[in-house]
Amino acid sequence: MRILTGIQSSGRPHLGNILGAIKPAVDLSLQPGNDSFLFIADLHSLTSLRDGTTRREYVRAIAATWLAFGLDTNRSTFWRQSRVQEHTELYWYLNCFTPKPMLENATSFKDKSEKGLEANAGLFTYPVLQAADILLYDAEVIPVGKDQRQHIEMTRDIAGTLNRAVGEAILVLPEPRIDERLMVIPGIDGQKMSKSYNNYIDIFLPENELWKVVKKIKSDSTPLEEPKNPDTDITFQLFSLLGSDEQIQEQRSLYEAGGYGYGQAKKALYELIIQKYATERERFNYYMHENPDALETELQAGEEKARAVARQTIRRVREKLGFS
């Protein structure tokens, strides 16, 4: 089956991106019989980030994260969205098949504009560009976090509308693949962890900086000596996503026994991150700092292959819409 997923270069990649999308996509991409398309959504990041130098750095960090988590460019097609112009061409065609009320109902648009992100037309039509990303490659399965469920639904609606209008199923309707356990990873403030909300945990930070972030995770004011409820605690929720069953059970008992403070719980989470991701942290540093040329080579590896597939889809659409 053909899988596809992308990450915006709107900030440093975080635990939510890794658990919600990168890790499941890499795992699927390594299964025999799967054909995977994994990309960096740098055009999408322009909706919230204007500075080019920063964007370039974020693109590098996201690419290094994919590679650190095992993406193999010999097996998967890996590229930057902006390098394949067919994304923006299909985006225009799809815009003309997208009812405005559908976009007005998009929860991510509402969330972001409520949080003070500028509500530009790019942010408003973001789901249409995303639909183009998916439909260009005839993708069947999209591994994503729960926040993307509605966008995949819109992609199906838009594709269905266009297929009906031209009288032929020229676009493939994709299915989301959402791991219920990893639906929405909370950020350090308890809201959805997001690059653009400044509430995220970047697991690749140097140790002292990582500790500073973990220390900031919101907790309640239960006194040190009293038992604590692990199920309502953000630190515990994050610990549970990373630890083994045994580690989680042990942590739960410490919370419930009392005399165990949130500072200690945060230290345990911090140490777990460092231990669990030791290899990935090393590989990330290799691509980011030790061998940037290797990173650039990997980034260019899939461009031609992506373009070749995208062109075929565009040809079908142009033909049916009378642009050929």
Cβ contact 158:128 at 8 Å: yes
**Which H or E run includes 20?**
none
**Least Å distance between CB 98 and ligand ATP?**
19
**Structure token pair of residue 186:** 């909370």
Q: Is 228 one of the annotated active-site residues of the chain?
A: no
The closest alpha carbon to 238, from 206, 207, 216, belongs to 216
Q: Is 112 one of the annotated active-site residues of the chain?
A: yes
Q: Which residues contact 229 (CB under 8 A, 6 or more apart)?
A: 222, 255
**Least Å distance between CB 238 and ligand ATP?**
11
Residue 185 or 288 with smaller CB distance to ligand ATP: 185
**Least Å distance between CB 292 and ligand ATP?**
22
What is the Cα–Cα distance from 114 to 108, expressed in whole angstroms?
10
Q: Is 320 one of the annotated active-site residues of the chain?
A: no
What is the Cα–Cα distance from 158 to 273, expressed in whole angstroms?
40
Residue 23 or 305 with smaller CB distance to ligand ATP: 23
**Which H or E run includes 176?**
strand 175-177
Residue 144 or 295 with smaller CB distance to ligand ATP: 144
Determine which one of 112, 212, 305, 320 is catalytic: 112
CA distances from 26 to 35, 159, 178, 296, 314 (A): 11, 26, 14, 19, 27
Residue 240 or 254 with smaller CB distance to ligand ATP: 240
**Least Å distance between CB 137 and ligand ATP?**
16
Determine which one of 100, 195, 305, 320 is catalytic: 195
**Least Å distance between CB 9 and ligand ATP?**
8
What is the Cα–Cα distance from 143 to 139, expressed in whole angstroms?
11
**Structure token pair of residue 62:** 């996201």
Side-chain-facing half-sphere of 236: CA atoms under 13 Å: 20
What is the Cα–Cα distance from 53 to 22, expressed in whole angstroms?
24
| Residues in touch with ligand ATP (CB under 6 A) | 5, 7-8, 10, 16-17, 20-21, 48, 144-145, 147-148, 182, 184-185, 192-196
Determine which one of 100, 115, 192, 216 is catalytic: 192
Residue 156 or 195 with smaller CB distance to ligand ATP: 195
Q: Give catalytic residues, as residue numbers.
A: 112, 192, 195
